[in-house]
């Protein structure tokens, strides 16, 4: 009998990856699809990083790596946290994994018990609530909207906290909204966490280098709660290395030890070659991410301008990452004569089938009135995509 575990049955498929697959399938059938669904830089991994990987192969880094990662990579991350974020983390507090996704999984499985509550501000990145489910915890979602630039208020946070609250997940710069919490906003959140000594905070900082408004503010900067904050980061976004699969956590030593125990039984150390490549990336002077950021900012400006000219797309100005998250409920109830758009899923399918532009419906991020564009694509593709969308939505009456 084909029967998966209840744990798996309860898990939703990753909608970002599913939408990207749909777009690949359509392309394979010969359709000219513009894929703005999955969030990954369209830049190439820099040559100095590729060369470090080639050297690692020639130097026979072909054996199992230590479970938490090679010492030189852990030291490079520790030095980066000091240099770029002014944070003191010993190499023993860092665990390298197969992408930030695994780092998040490790932390949730190591800290969350059955029925523990995890506060997740929405719009949230697709995998948070599913990973909480996998850990048998319960997501407590705080809703935010475009008027507030998708940021939670202190009142909302205080109201969401119960005696069962184990954790808060923050993501700044945010996927899917591009919002960034200011220093003062983070201070205010830290004051709430200070009052609740049993609450941990995952601070997902994977988009730290893609910030159009200033210097990255890490949530781990507050001494009084430092031991309860877990930084998640990696090389996927900052160094255009999504396929290399290297992420990391930085946390209190006992949490790192727990992750090492779990990872030792599940995946062992991450790829030896990719770790050597990541060491070169993290030790570099920051000019590569800075170059990409400039490119993304130009595209952000283009997208804000282009979408604000299409009736029905209510857009704010994202401050970082490479996503724009317009509100599109204007189209609900409208029809092209064949399909009636009832929700963001219908709208995303309509745009995929009619305009051949792949996007991810807001429902995937707990925000069903919205749709996500990943503008990590060429200027020409973005222009073409916006023109196609403008034309397609004219059919909706
Ligand atoms: N967190 C966020 C907010 C992300 O957007 C991503 C992108 N996939 C990840 C974590 C996971 O990144 P990685 O590629 O390192 O697994
Ligand atoms: N984080 C990216 C996204 O949101 C990559 C896909 C994924 O890992 O879900 O599209």
> How far does Cα 226 stand from its chain's mean position?
22
Same domain, yes or no: 15 and 118: no
Q: How many CB atoms lie within 10 A of CB 144?
A: 22
- Confidence band (pLDDT; 50, 70, 90) for 182? very high
Contacts 24+ apart (CB under 8 A), 377-380: 377/34, 377/35, 377/36, 377/42, 377/299, 378/42, 379/298, 379/299, 379/302
Same domain, yes or no: 117 and 240: yes
What pLDDT is attached to residue 17? 87
Q: Is the CB of 175 under 6 A from ligand 1?
A: yes
Average pLDDT over residues 123-139: 97
Domain that holds residue 380: 6-44+288-393
Number of domains in the chain: 2
Same domain, yes or no: 317 and 222: no
The alpha carbon of 215 and the centre of ligand 2 are apart by a number of angstroms equal to: 24
Same domain, yes or no: 24 and 158: no
Q: Which atom of ligand 2 is nearest to the CA of 242?
A: 5
**CB-based contact 303:382 (threshold 8 Å):** yes
294: CATH: 3.90.1150.10
Same domain, yes or no: 245 and 98: yes
Average pLDDT over residues 119-136: 97
83: CATH: 3.40.640.10
Cβ contacts of 385 within 8 Å, gap of 6 or more: 34, 36, 355, 357, 373, 377
The residue whose CB lies within 8 Å of the most ligand 1 atoms, and thus the one to mutate among 101, 202, 234, 241, is 101
User: Is the pLDDT at 288 greater than 90, yes or no?
Assistant: yes
- Confidence band (pLDDT; 50, 70, 90) for 116? very high
pTM of the predicted model as reported, rounded to 2 decimal places: 0.97
| Residue 203, beta-bridge partner list | 170, 231
Provide the percentage of residues in the chain whose pLDDT is more than 90. Answer: 95
Q: Is residue 55 part of a domain?
A: no
Q: Is the CB of 69 under 6 A from ligand 1?
A: no
The alpha carbon of 265 and the centre of ligand 2 are apart by a number of angstroms equal to: 25
- Average pLDDT over the chain reads 97
Give tens-digit pLDDT for 291-346: 999 999 999 999 999 999 999 999 999 999 999 999 999 999 999 999 999 999 99
Give tens-digit pLDDT for 165-175: 999 999 999 99
Q: Is residue 1 part of a domain?
A: no
Give tens-digit pLDDT for 30-57: 999 999 998 899 999 999 999 999 999 9
Q: Is residue 180 part of a domain?
A: yes
Q: Which atom of ligand 2 is nearest to the CA of 125?
A: 4
Same domain, yes or no: 15 and 140: no
What pLDDT is attached to residue 365? 97
CA separation for the pair 36, 323 (Å, rounded): 9
Phi/psi at 250 (5° precision): -130, 125
Same domain, yes or no: 338 and 193: no
Same domain, yes or no: 337 and 269: no
Q: Name all residues whose Cβ lies below 6 A of ligand 2.
A: 14, 16-17, 38-40, 101, 125-127, 175
Show the beta-strand stretches assigned E in the chain.
Answer: 34-35, 94-97, 117-122, 138-143, 165-171, 200-204, 229-234, 247-250, 323-324, 357-358, 360-361, 371-374
What pLDDT is attached to residue 281? 98
């Amino acid at each position: 009998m084909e029967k998966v575990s209840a744990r798996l049955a309860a898990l939703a498929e990753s909608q970002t990856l599913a939408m990207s697959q749909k777009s690949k399938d359509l392309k394979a059938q010969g359709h000219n699809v513009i894929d703005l669904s999955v969030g990954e830089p369209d830049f190439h991994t820099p040559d100095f990083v590729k060369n470090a990987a080639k050297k690692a192969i020639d130097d026979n880094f072909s054996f199992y790596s230590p479970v938490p990662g090679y010492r030189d990579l852990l030291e490079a991350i520790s030095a980066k946290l000091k240099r770029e974020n002014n944070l003191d983390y010993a190499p023993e507090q860092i665990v390298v994994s197969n992408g930030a996704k695994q780092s998040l999984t490790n932390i949730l499985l190591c800290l969350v018990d059955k029925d523990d509550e995890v506060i997740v501000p929405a719009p949230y990145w697709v995998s948070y609530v599913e990973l909480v489910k996998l850990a048998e915890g319960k997501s407590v979602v705080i809703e935010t909207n475009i008027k507030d630039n998708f940021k939670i208020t202190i009142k909302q946070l205080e109201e969401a906290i119960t005696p069962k609250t184990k954790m808060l997940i923050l993501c700044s710069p945010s996927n899917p909204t591009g919002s960034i919490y200011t220093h003062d906003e983070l201070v205010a959140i830290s004051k709430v966490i200070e009052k609740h000594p049993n609450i941990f905070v995952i601070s997902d900082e994977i988009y730290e280098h893609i910030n159009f408004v200033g210097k990255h503010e890490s949530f781990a900067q507050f001494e009084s709660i430092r031991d309860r904050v877990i930084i998640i980061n990696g090389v996927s976004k900052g160094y255009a290395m999504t396929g290399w699969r290297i992420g990391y956590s930085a946390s209190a030593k006992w949490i790192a030890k727990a992750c090492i125990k779990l990872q030792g039984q599940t995946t062992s150390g991450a790829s030896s070659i990719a770790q050597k490549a990541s060491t070169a990336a993290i030790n570099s002077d920051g000019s590569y991410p800075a170059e990409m950021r400039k490119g993304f900012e130009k595209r952000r400006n283009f997208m804000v301008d282009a979408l604000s000219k299409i009736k029905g797309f209510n857009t704010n100005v994202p401050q970082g990452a490479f996503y724009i998250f317009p509100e599109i409920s204007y189209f609900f109830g409208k029809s092209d004569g064949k399909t009636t758009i009832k929700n963001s899923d219908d709208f995303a399918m309509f745009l995929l089938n009619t305009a051949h532009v792949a996007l991810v419906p807001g429902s995937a991020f707990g925000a069903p009135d919205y749709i996500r564009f990943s503008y990590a694509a060429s200027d020409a593709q973005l222009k073409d995509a916006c023109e196609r969308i403008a034309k397609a939505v004219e059919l909706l009456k």
